[in-house]
Structure 1
Amino acid sequence: MFRLLVSLAAASCILVEVTAAHADDIKRVSANGTELSYVEVGQGEPVIFVHGGLQDYRMWLAHLPKFAERYRAIAYSRRNHFPNEASPEGTPDGAADAHGEDLAAFVRALGLSKVRVVAHSSGAHTALFFAAAHPEMVVSLTLNEPPATGILAGIPGAADMLKEWGNGMAPAREAFKAGDVKAGIPLFVNAVAGPGGYERRSDADKKMNLDNAASHQADATTKRPRPVFTCDMAKAIVAPTLLSNGERSPKFFHLIVDQLEVCLPNRERIVIAKSSHTVPAEAPDAYDQAVLTFLSKH
């Protein structure tokens, strides 16, 4: 009983620390010609958390206490995401190659040489480009459903699935292109998470989505070619990698992870029950336990 009380007290202190960081201790660092905001808690080996689309560092705040007991847990906001400078004319959310170079610069700016990365969705796509370009900087990767469509080239049936996926995303893209973010956000979320996905989100998550609409407006209007992550690039990533899917996620994401599982030389894969695309938010306890178990082995 005494040990349990001590553990609960320690967890409470860590949670207070995270809340304080959220309110008062957002740090900023110059990296790759821009300023990136981040929070960090805990001590030990560094773990960098990379958020997905329509999100920012706040996506990870509820997760950080569990990791801070053992690691230096660092969650940052990618370029053109809150509270960094943001604009519809800025860097698109889908510019994973550019965000990957930002991640490398961010790691260096913190004075680090090798890190573990835990990443979701477009943040996981970012992490793939980062790891392929800078394998010497990666201890391990944890990737939840990256939209790495380039890896589907030549896969039977993939072209039809990509077309279907594009058609499903078109209403959201058109809304963002027209500047109607209040319509575009629910359309996007329900496309990736299934019907009712947006309605199930908390008010705080909905506000975070609205705060990060600029990068999706940039996605809808950019003339920048979408970066292509290939199987050959994946084969160059030798770091241990944990791939995850939500049980209820669109088949599109499962097919991408199928191919990553084929191409990555050192990988494990899990499927988290009763969750869709945004696994860390929909099944946080199961997700965090799976990631912590993976980190402890590698």
Structure 2
Amino acid sequence: MTTQKRKIISFTKPLRIGFMVILIGFISCKEAKHEKQNSVPAPVKAELKSISINGDSFHYLDIGKGEPVVFVHGTVDDYRVWEAQMYAFAKNHRVIAYSRRFAYPNKQMINDSTDFSVTAHSKDLTAFIQELDVGPVHLVGHSFGAFTSLLTALEHPELLQSLTLGEPPIMSLLQNIPKGEELLNDFVGNVLIPTGEEFAKNNDEKAVELFIGGVLEDSLYFSKAAQKEKDLMLDNTLELRASVTRKNLLPPLACDDIKTVKIPVLLMKGDKSPEVLTAILDELHSCIDHSEFVILSNSSHGLAYENPVEFNKIVLDFINKN
């Protein structure tokens, strides 16, 4: 499917259009008590590598042997958020986790014409897989990274063996949901606008705190996080800042476009995730009639970060049978 063939869907109000582009992303590991309850083996020590893609340098980890699994992170994230997955998956697979454009420690140049869109990130992901010559891969994406992964599957299905999507922010699907407009307005007013206001005051830490609190529906999450997790988030504020000021970052996919996906698909949402995200995933499930659908227990939008043991088991089982 080419981009030109897609139906163009847009919301009518300018404010809605401007803020629907926020890319729901990140969340680091839970506090120490939660980590103890969901303990995983210690992460594998691996050399951080770099590769030139579309004229820029991208950093990634590459460990293990077997069928390749590529992890794609969300906003306010980088390759480091997949630590709890790297060891478990590398026992029987080649595991690759990369930092998307603008994420730590990449150093892409920024100017007024910089493209932060999902489409640009999908082009990077496509080139990344092709340059490493590892396809077809099992692609595992979270949030913004899940949207990036879905678009890659639509444009280049030959590069994928399976697709796992964790709560991608496909905002255009909200118009198919009775409460869609209300859910979007609530998210814009309660999360995105306050986040943008703090960025306008150059208060990056407060902006990230409000955003993370909103997508997790836990206003105290950031304040309770260990300094290591806070630093990781603050290392990756660039894309979030752009998302509250730029338009047209999210391709307006229609259900008919998404139905063209033929590879095995696993859809995952958290049992405590915000309704705006779970409603989108429910609609996505109806668009891909052959998709598998799971609800991750004891988790909000963080998914793999909040319940790594269950996440790893579910996704590994899915990958191993496909």
Compute the TM-score of the two structures, normalised by the length of structure 2. 0.82
Note the C-alpha offset of 1:111.
Answer: 1.4
Note the C-alpha offset of 1:265.
Answer: 3.4
The question of 1:44 aligning with 2:66 is answered: yes
What residue ranges of structure 1 are gaps of 5+ in the alignment?
A: 1-11
Change (3 A) 1:39 1:287: same
Mapping of residues 1-298 of structure 1, within 5 Å: 15=42, 18-19=44-45, 21=46, 25-86=47-108, 89=111, 90-92=114-116, 95-169=117-191, 170-195=193-218, 196-298=220-322
Q: Which amino acid aligns with 2:297?
A: A
Identity over aligned pairs, percent: 35
For 1:3, the equivalent position in structure 2 comes to none
8 Å contact kept, 2:118–2:249: no
For 2:24, the equivalent position in structure 1 comes to none
Q: Which amino acid aligns with 2:262?
A: V
Change (3 A) 1:265 1:138: farther
> Larger deviation: 218-227 or 59-68?
218-227
8 Å contact kept, 1:88–1:218: no
Once the two structures are superposed, residues 268-291 of structure 1 have per-residue CA deviations (whole angstroms, 9 ceiling, x without a partner) of: 111111111101111110111111
Higher helix share: 1
How many Å separate the matches in 1 of 2:61 and 2:312? 18
Q: Which amino acid aligns with 2:90?
A: A
Once the two structures are superposed, residues 149-180 of structure 1 have per-residue CA deviations (whole angstroms, 9 ceiling, x without a partner) of: 11222322211111111112210122224322
Greater relative contact order (Cα 8 A, min sep 6): structure 1 or 2? 2
How many Å separate the matches in 1 of 2:245 and 2:316? 39
8 Å contact kept, 1:116–1:141: yes
- How many positions carry a matched residue from both structures? 279
Q: Which amino acid aligns with 2:186?
A: E
How many Å separate the matches in 1 of 2:167 and 2:64? 27
Once the two structures are superposed, residues 224-276 of structure 1 have per-residue CA deviations (whole angstroms, 9 ceiling, x without a partner) of: 55322221221111111111111110011110001110001321111111111
How many Å separate the matches in 1 of 2:96 and 2:169? 23
> Larger deviation: 174-183 or 269-278?
174-183
Please provide the CA RMSD for this pair. 1.8
What residue ranges of structure 2 are gaps of 5+ in the alignment?
A: 1-39
Once the two structures are superposed, residues 91-140 of structure 1 have per-residue CA deviations (whole angstroms, 9 ceiling, x without a partner) of: 43xx2111111100000110123111111111101111111111111111
SS at match of 1:237: coil
Change (3 A) 1:295 1:88: same
8 Å contact kept, 1:88–1:214: no
SS at match of 1:139: strand
Compute the TM-score of the two structures, normalised by the length of structure 1. 0.89
SS at match of 1:275: coil
8 Å contact kept, 1:246–1:274: yes
8 Å contact kept, 1:238–1:265: no
Change (3 A) 1:87 1:166: farther
